[in-house]
Chains A and B, each alone.
Chain A
Amino acid sequence: MFKDITIGQYYPANSPIHDLDPRTKIVYTFVYIIVLFFANNIAGYAIALLFLALLIYLSNIPLKFVFKSVKAIIIIILITVILNVFVTPGYILFKIGPLKVTDAGLINAAFMAVRLIMLIIGTSIMTLTTSPISLTDGMEYCMRRIPGMRAYAHELAMMMTIALRFIPTLMEEADKIMKAQKARGADFETGGIFKKAKSVVPILVPLFIGSFKRADELAMAMEARCYRGGEGRTRLNELTYQKGDTVAYIVTAVMTAMIIASRFLLLLNIPMK
């Protein structure tokens, strides 16, 4: 039942976005998040939306999957919208009991909701198009660039890799333990939530003990294969930038410039409507 579990939300497909270097995608996502907060008028949002639409189109991911991630934060969006509608001062449109709805509030709420939705879709495009393994690689490379983080970059990446490697193994083991307990009359299906939670304990205990033993053996095997941290280590597959990455970086720069420009155009009072 656990055999071919997918970790994260990676959606395997062939697309120019999938082929990009994970570093490019991480940098793009980072820039995109920051730039979204620069956008403060319709022009800015329109530009961000345009680039997002382009990204989704190029990524070959069905829209259903893209919008799945929005579902997860729908409550947060609702709360933000409600708060914005009612607490922003401005011209009062109408009142519901003690609550006042203002024009500025409505506009603000709409902007906020759009911003959040774009934020979550933009970042999930990264996780949808990048496998956890190459995402780990990309993070390691990016972290190395940050002063003072170099030493941790390798360790963090190694931890992530080992975690990814052992998730299926531990799943299989949990399945095995569960079956063994069932064979001896354990009941995982009936009862309320507390009874069910309680019945998980006999699975977790042996699983934990087992994984400590595994960790011990793995550490020994790694040492036997001359592992001594990240210093002086080489790689079989070094990340290398391709042509597509250059294009992606240019696109990122253009988008950033356009959104920032949209903000200043408003300051200069050039009419946008």
Chain B
Amino acid sequence: MQKAIQVKNLCYKYQKDEEELTAIYDMSFDVYEGEFLAIIGHNGSGKSTLAKLLNGIIKPSSGDVLVYEMNTKDEDKIWDIRQKAGIVFQNPDNQIVATIVEEDVAFGPENLGVEQKEIRKRVDEALETVKMSQYKDRKPHQLSGGQKQRIAIAGILAMQPKCIIFDEATAMLDPSGRDEVLSCIRHLNKENKTTILYITHYMEEIVDADRIIVLNKGEIAMQGTPKEIFSQVEPLQQLQLDVPNITKLAYMLKKEGINIPDGVLTVDEMVGCICR
């Protein structure tokens, strides 16, 4: 499989009150084209720093980040990198620039100098993909959190990236807004074959990811499929991460001596195991 992003021996240090702190410590991993990779970790594990490193908003202290073979340290390639790997941030309010929805979606392609006709086409398509077409003439502050975040996604889509990084994109949303955004992201991954790198601290959101990387204190603590990760209930709890409730239930039943396989992820699976 082709590699979308390669992270090689990545280190990131920063100054705070004359003290040098390390946010990312010697990290290496690859993101493959078309996959849904989830990165999880609790506060201070370096997830947001990692997101900013991935499309060159901040530069590595040592090591390299390659986005489609382009190094983020290469200033000439930085706009190509940001076009290829878009990023959706946490706060929906602080990433919408224009006063009208469709003009905000157009902001990215406008910056890239795309031709006017083509911008119109891309904006319409992007709004269609996130199912926000009927809101294109609205003002951003009239929309709900989930809708604003979908507009932010459309704004990235209009740049036609190959990979989208979500930096805790659902953290500030209510449950229904979270569902809206998540189903939109899944749709992008399945239908448009967009590579998704999903950073979060909610375990429930990533049970159907292709692969999970667990971060702790700037290092990779675990990686594997959701099944492999969630079957390790105790190590996860030590990293202050909560496994999904259903997995926890399976774990507790197993502890009581009931024969249930490791890493049950969904209610259906659970029903299947119990009613055998």
Residues of A within 8 A of B (CB): 133, 161-162, 164-165, 168-169, 172, 214, 217-218, 220-228, 232-238
Closest Cβ–Cβ distance, residue B112 to chain A (whole Å): 6
Q: Are B108 and A225 in contact (CB under 8 A)?
A: yes
CB-defined contacts of A169 to chain B, threshold 8 Å:
93, 141
> In the complex, which residues of chain A have a beta carbon less than 8 angstroms from the beta carbon of B112?
226
Chain A residues within 8 Å of B52, by CB:
220
- CA separation between A235 and B103, bound complex, in Å? 9
Given contacts A218-B97, A225-B111, A233-B111, 6 further A-B contacts (CB under 8 A): A165-B96, A169-B93, A214-B94, A217-B95, A220-B52, A224-B86
Which range holds the interface residue count of chain B?
A: 35 or more
Closest A residue to B55 by beta carbon equals A224
Contact in complex: A226, B159 (CB < 8 Å): yes
CB within 8 A of B120: which of A164, A217, A227, A236?
A: A236
A-B contacts, CB under 8 A, total:
90
Q: Are the C-beta atoms of A238 and B116 separated by less than 8 Å?
A: yes
Do B139 and A168 touch across chains, with their CB atoms under 8 A apart?
yes
Contact B108 A236 (CB under 8 A): no
Does B89 lie at the interface of the complex (its beta carbon under 8 Å from any beta carbon of A)? yes
Tell me whether A165 and B98 are in contact (CB under 8 A): yes
Given A218-B94, A236-B116, A238-B116, residue A165 in contact with residue B99 (CB < 8 A): yes
Known: A165-B97, A217-B94. A234 touches B82 (CB 8 A): no
- Residue of A133, A165, A172 contacting most chain B CB atoms (<10 Å): A165
- Asked whether, in the complex, the Cβ of B95 is within 8 Å of the Cβ of A236, the reply is no
Residues of B within 8 A of A221 (CB): 89, 94-95, 97
Residue in B closest to A167 when the chains form the complex, CB atoms? B141
A237→B104 CA distance, assembly (Å) = 12
B102 on the interface (CB 8 Å rule)? yes
The one of A164, A165, A234 in contact with B110, judged by C-beta atoms closer than 8 angstroms, is A234
Q: Which residues of A lie under 8 Å from residue B93 when comparing CB positions?
A: 169, 214
Q: Is the CB of A225 within 8 A of B155?
A: yes
Asked if B140 is at the interface (CB within 8 A of a chain A CB), the reply is yes
Which 9 residue pairs are nearest across A and B when measured between Cβ atoms? Answer: A221-B95, A236-B106, A217-B94, A168-B141, A226-B111, A225-B108, A232-B113, A224-B87, A165-B99
